[in-house]
Structure 1
């Protein structure tokens, strides 16, 4: 289980959060259907560090940007996105 440090609530268990997506999977508004399929369903899943979007649903409701290692699950950065819900 991950231990995520919410900037507003402090350290919390992963069960309080919901994973939304890896940030490299976000599509531009002008993406073609072929590009959308490629980025959402056929993208690489490399090992290593990536930025992810999470929401603290059982806490303050904030959207968080986490920098997490996909093998070790180490989290080395957490940033708030936008205002509190």
Structure 2
């Protein structure tokens, strides 16, 4: 798999580290314990397009937001961590 870093250009996957699901949001301070449990331990295992955090550890060291198909590993978009990516619509 090759990832197009917006800062360094197209690079091999071995230069990056997967950092997790970019669609998960941390519960607020007032959240119940169950919400924190779900945040830490419960994760979906989606088939299809998924937003992920990747860090370019052997390059610019930036954390990137990547839209990747978990079935084919096709990458549709790579942006800096503060930029937004629109998820493609899933077929019904």
Normalised by the size of structure 2, how large is the TM-score?
0.77
4+ long deviations beyond 3 Å: none
Which of the two has greater strand per residue?
Answer: 1
Gaps of 5+ in 2: 83-92
TM-score (norm 1): 0.83
Aligned CA RMSD, in angstroms, stands at 1.5
Aligned residues: 81
Which structure has greater helix proportion?
Answer: 1
2:88 maps to which residue? Answer: none
Matched, 1:15 2:10: no
Structure 2 match to 1:48: 48
Q: Matches of 2:25 and 2:18 in 1, distance apart?
A: 14
